[in-house]
Chain A
Amino acid sequence: MNGMHDLGGKQGFGPVRHSADAAVFHASWEVRANALYSLAVKHGIFNMDEYRYAIERMEPRHYLQASYYERSLTSLATLCVEKGLISKDELERRTQGTFPLAQQACAGRSNRADRQTYLPGDLVRVRDDHVSGHVRMPGYIRGKRGVVVGVSPAYPFPDAHAHGVAAQAEPSYDVRFDATELWPDTADAAKIHVGVFESYLEQAR
């Protein structure tokens, strides 16, 4: 899904609020939120793709307004409800207030049957796919051409893994794009590299 989380290249944002030796956490509850979702993943209550997808399907206003760790907590709570560990009513009885959760999941998808392997140097094009469920293809590379510069080991296919859909693990490729190909006339010159799953790619013609 091309939700609010798909931020790469979106215009209108101001300066990065950078400081040297910046903090990772700003309050003890943030450490706890990070620990608790890690604990749930460690025990197999959900996997990292399910976790990421539950953040992505937060209502857009909530996503933008929430801090990073509130998004973590929202995903964790959403998945605890969806996995049947607790009902939303019981959760809200315990919090004595509303507990905004993510919106409903859409259907996932498995790997492409016609996917092919690539080698460094191969010219590729990112498929013009528009996916409702979880996907790890940032919108800014959709339909764009690049060149393969690296190959990863096989990973679980996120579009399936976030949805409990059966799929084979597949490699991803570090694909190099020209920033001027991605955003003609409105980008700083640079080579942009994105890890792209095999099923998202086709040979460039």
Chain B
Amino acid sequence: MSDSRELSTAAPIEQRLAAIESVLDEQHLHPQEFVTTFNELAYHEWVPENGARVVVKAWTDPAFRDRLLTNGKHAVEELGLSMPPHHRHLVVLENTPHIHNVICCTLCSCTAFSIIGLPPDWYKDLEYRARVVRESRTVLREMGLDLPADTEIRVWDTTTDTRYMVLPERPADTDGWSETQLLGLVSKDALIGVARAG
């Protein structure tokens, strides 16, 4: 139980963390080693460049695009990517000239983190979680994405262990671009759906 008095006397966060680390150490879970492992995963394995590879492959290989839209989890495995076992399903949401998809998690912070990267700070903040489902067009405009009035907005709230990623539209005038050039067009924001590719 915590009341406001208890909050005001709370030990500094680093001390609380160190205490819990000591508990896990006593359980022989080797927490410090795992922090090193986790750092590697967070900064070098779970990166949006994975999602960018999926998108560019879908832009350049129509058969792959079809497989991706049918079964995302299987299709990303073709590119050597994987998802944690509890993420049993990946739904890929294709943007078109008239449909724009955007993902969120109103209850916490769920994302397909092994494909699009760990969620950015604003995705986990109260504002995005509260507002994007109810004021999608307004929120996207505030974030710099002003969609035409006739574009249908589709919001996807990640409330189960099904995961989502947005397949953004390929920008015009990119015919003949190399794979490397195309990869540079796809940001984490585009995979979430708060920005276009480009």
Give the B-binding residues of A (Cβ under 8 A): 5-26, 29, 31-36, 38-40, 43, 45, 48, 52, 55, 58-59, 61-62, 64-65, 68, 70, 73, 76-77, 80, 85-86, 91-92, 94-104, 136-138, 140, 150, 152-153, 155, 158, 172, 174, 179, 182-183, 186-197
Per-position binary interface string of chain B over residues 47-59, scored 1 when its CB falls under 8 Å from any chain A CB and 0 otherwise: 0000000000000
Residues on B facing A (Cβ under 8 Å): 1-4, 6-7, 9-24, 26-27, 29, 31, 34-35, 37-39, 42, 86, 88-89, 91, 106-109, 117-122, 124-139, 142-144, 152-162, 187-189, 194-195
Q: Are B122 and A100 in contact (CB under 8 A)?
A: no
Can you name 6 A-B residue pairings with CB atoms under 8 Å?
A7-B106, A11-B130, A29-B13, A35-B38, A192-B133, A193-B157
Q: Say which residue of B89, B127, B153 sits within 8 Å of A13 (CB atoms).
A: B127
Q: Count the A-B residue pairs with Cβ separation under 8 angstroms: how many? A: 256
Q: Contacts A22-B121, A80-B20, A155-B161 known; A35 to B31 CB distance under 8 Å?
A: yes
**Cβ contact within 8 Å between B6 and A100:** yes
CB contacts (< 8 Å) of B131 on chain A: these are 13, 16
* Residues of B close to A174: CB separation below 8 A: 91, 156, 162
Is there contact, CB below 8 Å, between B117 and A35?
no
Measured between C-beta atoms, what is the minimum distance from A7 to chain B in Å?
Answer: 4
Which residue of the partner chain, among A15, A91, A150, A182, contacts B127 with CB atoms under 8 Å?
A15
A16 touching B38 in the complex, CB below 8 Å, given contacts A61-B4, A77-B20, A192-B155: no
Indicate which residue in B122, B129, B134, B144 contacts A22 across the interface (CB closer than 8 Å): B122
Q: Please state if B20 and A17 are interface contacts (CB–CB under 8 Å).
A: no
Query: Which residues of A lie under 8 Å from residue B89 when comparing CB positions?
Result: 152-153
Is A43's CB under 8 angstroms from B17's CB? no
Interface residue from A43, A101, A172, A194 paired with B29 (Cβ < 8 Å):
A43
Rounded to whole Å, the gap between the CB of B11 and the closest CB of chain A is 3
Beyond the given pairs A43-B29, A172-B162, A188-B137, 18 more chain A to chain B contacts, judged by CB atoms under 8 angstroms and listed by A's residue number, are A16-B139, A20-B189, A23-B120, A31-B35, A31-B39, A59-B1, A68-B124, A92-B11, A99-B10, A100-B10, A140-B106, A140-B133, A155-B86, A155-B160, A182-B134, A192-B157, A194-B159, A195-B158
Asked, given contacts A64-B126, A140-B133, A153-B88, whether A189 binds B106 with beta carbons under 8 Å apart, the answer is: no
Complex CA distance for A146 and B187, rounded to whole angstroms: 32
Cβ A21 vs Cβ B107 within 8 A: no
